[in-house]
């Protein structure tokens, strides 16, 4: 079975630009979460979606937005990019919201903002 997939793998943007990152969850998983991981730190929660509804939001500015589609795939959008947005963006899927917290992570998108 295919795991969580993300695209693109790498991305280089300049300050002020906008970016869209994409994620496809494991088949049968209805929950998708997005995390930002700065080098040397743990992942920081950005959003969680379940059944196409936002179920959680982390401490990120309104420049960050996301959505989930009927097929449970998801997009993360970041507007007005700042240098500090350079990070690895991870998508994780899980079957639901409860349970043992097991989330399956994708390989991530490495975003570099110049």
Partner 1 sequence: GQSLEQPSEVTAVEGAIVQINCTYQTSGFYGLSWYQQHDGGAPTFLSYNALDGLEETGRFSSFLSRSDSYGYLLLQELQMKDSASYFCAVRDRAAGNKLTFGGGTRVLVKP
**Interaction between residue 28 and partner 1 (CB under 8 A):** no
Binding span for partner 1 by CB under 8 A among 10-18, 20-28, 66-74, 104-112: 104-112
User: How far apart are alpha carbons 58 and 62 in whole angstroms?
Assistant: 11
Q: Does 103 bind partner 1 (CB under 8 A)?
A: yes
Q: Determine if 101 is a binding residue for partner 1 (CB under 8 A).
A: yes
**Binding flags for partner 1, 48-87, as an x/- string (CB under 8 A):** x-x----xxxx-----------------------------
Closest distance of CB 12 from partner 1, Å: 17
* Cβ-based neighbour number of residue 71 at 10 Å: 10
Nearest residue to 107 (alpha-carbon basis) of 95, 92, 85, 97: 92
Count of chain residues binding partner 1 (CB under 8 A): 27
| Cα separation, 92 vs 35, whole angstroms | 8
* Residue 45 touches partner 1, criterion: CB under 8 A: yes
Residue partners of 59: CB distance under 8 A and separation at least 6? none
Looking only at Cα atoms, what is the longest distance across the chain? Answer: 40
Alpha-carbon 24 to chain mean position: 10
| Binding positions for partner 1, rule: CB under 8 A | 4, 33, 35, 40-45, 48, 50, 55-58, 90, 92, 97, 100-108
């Amino acid at each position: 079975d295919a795991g969580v997939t993300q695209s693109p793998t790498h991305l280089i943007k300049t300050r002020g630009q906008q970016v869209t990152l994409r994620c496809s969850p494991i088949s049968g998983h209805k929950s998708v979460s997005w995390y930002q991981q700065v080098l040397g730190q743990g992942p920081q929660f950005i959003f969680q979606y379940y059944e196409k509804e936002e179920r959680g939001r982390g401490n990120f500015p309104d420049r960050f937005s996301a959505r989930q589609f009927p097929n449970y795939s998801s997009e993360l959008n970041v507007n007005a990019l700042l240098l500090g947005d350079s990070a690895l963006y991870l998508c994780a899927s899980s079957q639901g919201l409860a349970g043992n917290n097991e989330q399956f992570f994708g390989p991530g998108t490495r975003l570099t903002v110049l």
